[in-house]
Amino acid sequence: MWDVCGQERVRPFWRHYQPNTDGLVFVVDSVDYVRFEEARSELEALLGDELVVLLANKQDLPGAWPPPPKVAEKMGLRKLQGHQWHVQGCSALTGEGISEAMGKLAEMVKLRCKAQGT
């Protein structure tokens, strides 16, 4: 598992971590509505055939987009043909939702491996 930060100057290096990647955890700030389009664009550009768990962070703050329907809609996930994805609300501050998201990703990877016979 790699944890690569999202600063703009680091994004060109993301692809170096991607070969042979089964799953991708993509974190968005669910309070920063202005950057949703930027995040959506970056996710689309990054995607290969990875499974996607999108963490809608800062759910502990007032005004956060309630996951999963609104966040999935804003991120255009329903338009991602051929990708399995899951949206999980979380709070990095409290840890809420993190274990559930990792469990869901593990479940998705297991199912894909079973389907592929690997």
Q: What CATH number is attached to the domain comprising 71? A: 3.40.50.300
Residue 59 lies in domain = 11-116
Distance CA 49, CA 36 (A): 22
Q: Which residues are annotated as a binding site for GTP?
A: 6, 57-60
Is the residue at 22 inside a domain? yes
pLDDT tens digits along 21-32: 788 888 999 898
Q: Tell me the HSE value of 54 on the side-chain side, using a 13 A CA sphere.
A: 30
Q: How distant, in Å, are the alpha carbons of 35, 58, 59, 99 from that of 39?
A: 6, 15, 17, 23
Is the residue at 20 inside a domain? yes
H-run or E-run covering 44: helix 36-46
Q: 99 near 105, Cβ under 8 Å?
A: no
pLDDT tens digits along 70-113: 888 888 888 877 788 999 999 999 999 999 999 999 999 999 88
| Domains contained in the chain, number | 1
Is the residue at 6 inside a domain? no
Is the residue at 110 inside a domain? yes
Is the residue at 5 inside a domain? no
Is the residue at 2 inside a domain? no
Is the residue at 1 inside a domain? no
Q: Which residues are annotated as a binding site?
A: 6, 57-60
Catalytically active residues are 7
Q: 27 near 48, Cβ under 8 Å?
A: no
Is the residue at 25 inside a domain? yes
- pTM value? 0.81
Give the DSSP letter of residue 49: S
